[in-house]
A and B are shown apart, each in its own frame.
Chain A
Amino acid sequence: MHAEVAENMGQAVGDMILHHLTNGRQVELPFTSLDHLAGHAVGLPELPGFELGGVRIELSLTKHVVMMLLAALLLLMMVWRVRRGLGLVPRGLANVVEAVVLFIRDDIAKGTMGPKAAEQYTPYLCTTFFFIVTCNLIGLVPYGSTATGNLGVTATLAFMSFLLIQYAGIRELGVFGYLKHLIPPGVPFWLAPIMFLVELLGVFAKPFALCIRLFANMLAGHVVILSLIGLIFILGWIIAPVTVAFGVFMYVLELFVALLQAYIFTMLTSLFIGLLVAGHHADEHEEPSHGAKH
């Protein structure tokens, strides 16, 4: 009898986790219903989509789209506020934003691709960093949802980085030079076609790894937190102090991971651009940074 209840509860907890993490056609909002003070699901409007080259493009709002729009709105408001109050000495929010932007420009961009290219690509790197970090953090706010825990979202982000990396490489090296860099120097001629294929696969696999890494990291932490909370309902209230303590620990870890993953995404995008842009005159700088060539 008891085992059966636990099994049903396990099913319910599993459904809850799935429901919480997957995209949906409604958002949960607090205080929207008198019966459920804790919250209530509100349906999202359906918008007409269209066909583009045989592919159906959906424009309807979903939970994650709303969260992304919210992130974009928050960022616009932040930038507007910072821009308005900009004095000679930044204070408050402007100070924080300046510190982050300087960090991205000087430590990430200049470290990986040299001072000249860094100025060019810093705006994109700042945009990705702030957007990803905001999306990640919105997922940690009650009633929020992690848009970066959706494979479609991270795939799109990685695809944009992919386009920028190829654009930067072709612009710097030319089409021929770009193809030539795919064969590492000093490779015997019979190995060259294989190395070309291996490196060509790398061109696609690197953004793919960016996409999977962000998605998996954002999803995993949330699954762990929700499972810990779910254990209370499966094993009984006696376990609550332990799971809540672990849950809080995971939550704090998630705060760190939210920043870390945004940083890693930005850093690796910058690194891949840097390998193409700074690679052929790397000797001019000290070591062209972190040497990570994967």
Chain B
Amino acid sequence: MGYGVPLGKVAPYLDIGLVFVVFLVSGVLLGRWLDERWGTEPWLLLAGSLLGMAAGFYHFFKVVFSLGRKRAGGPPGR
């Protein structure tokens, strides 16, 4: 394989913080939008924020643990 592969392996971790924030913000925005649509302020905003946080942490750890697995050289998936 070419030179791009090491960079390709690093690229998803370069902006892990940004991705976390984007998950959180999209949860908040989704909740607010649904609130405005259905007139259920402020419940869906709260639910969306919590969901965004949960999703952010979930994806964050998914990426970080997949990095740890690769570095340890263990088999992927477990």
Contact = CB atoms under 8 A, between A and B. Distances in A.
A198 B51 contact: yes
Interface string A202-230: 10110011001100100000000000000
A290 B12 contact: yes
In which size bucket is the chain A interface?
20 to 34
Q: Using C-beta atoms within 8 Å of the partner chain, give the interface range for chain B.
A: 35 or more
Interface string B1-41: 11011011101111110110011011100100000000000
B55 A205 contact: yes
Interface stretch (A42-50, A104-112, A118-126, A138-146): A104-112
A292 interface: yes
Contacts of A268: 11-12
B52 A201 contact: yes
Most A C-beta atoms less than 10 A away, residue of B16, B30, B55: B55
Contacts of B18: 209, 212-213, 216
A293 B64 CA distance: 10
Contacts of A204: 26, 30
A255 to B, nearest CB: 16
Q: Is chain B's interface secondary structure helix, strand, loop, or mixed overall?
A: helix
A192 interface: no
A103 B3 CA distance: 9
Given A108-B4, A201-B27, A201-B52, A290 B22 contact: no
A267 B7 CA distance: 10
Contacts of B1: 106-107, 111
Contact of A107 (B4, B60, B62, B63): B4
Contacts of A287: 76
A113 to B, nearest CB: 13
Contacts of B14: 264
Contacts of A291: 66-67, 69-70, 76
A260 B55 CA distance: 27
Nearest to A292: B12
A294 interface: yes
Interface in B44-63: 51-52, 54-55, 58-60, 62-63
A263 B67 CA distance: 20
B4 A198 contact: no
Contact of B2 (A107, A197, A198, A209): A107
Contacts of A201: 23, 26-27, 30, 51-52, 55
Contact of A293 (B2, B51, B52, B63): B63
A194 B69 CA distance: 26
Contacts of A197: 51, 55
Point out which of A205, A213, A289, A294 has the most chain B C-beta atoms below 10 A from its C-beta: A294
20 contacts: A103-B4, A106-B2, A107-B1, A194-B54, A197-B55, A204-B30, A205-B19, A208-B26, A212-B22, A213-B15, A263-B4, A264-B14, A267-B8, A268-B12, A290-B9, A290-B12, A291-B66, A291-B67, A293-B62, A294-B63
Interface of A: 103, 106-108, 111, 194, 197-199, 201-202, 204-205, 208-209, 212-213, 216, 260, 263-264, 267-268, 271, 287, 289-294
Given A107-B4, A209-B23, A291-B70, 5 more contacts: A201-B23, A205-B27, A212-B18, A263-B11, A267-B11
Nearest 7 A/B pairs, CB to CB: A292-B12, A291-B66, A209-B22, A294-B63, A198-B55, A205-B26, A107-B4
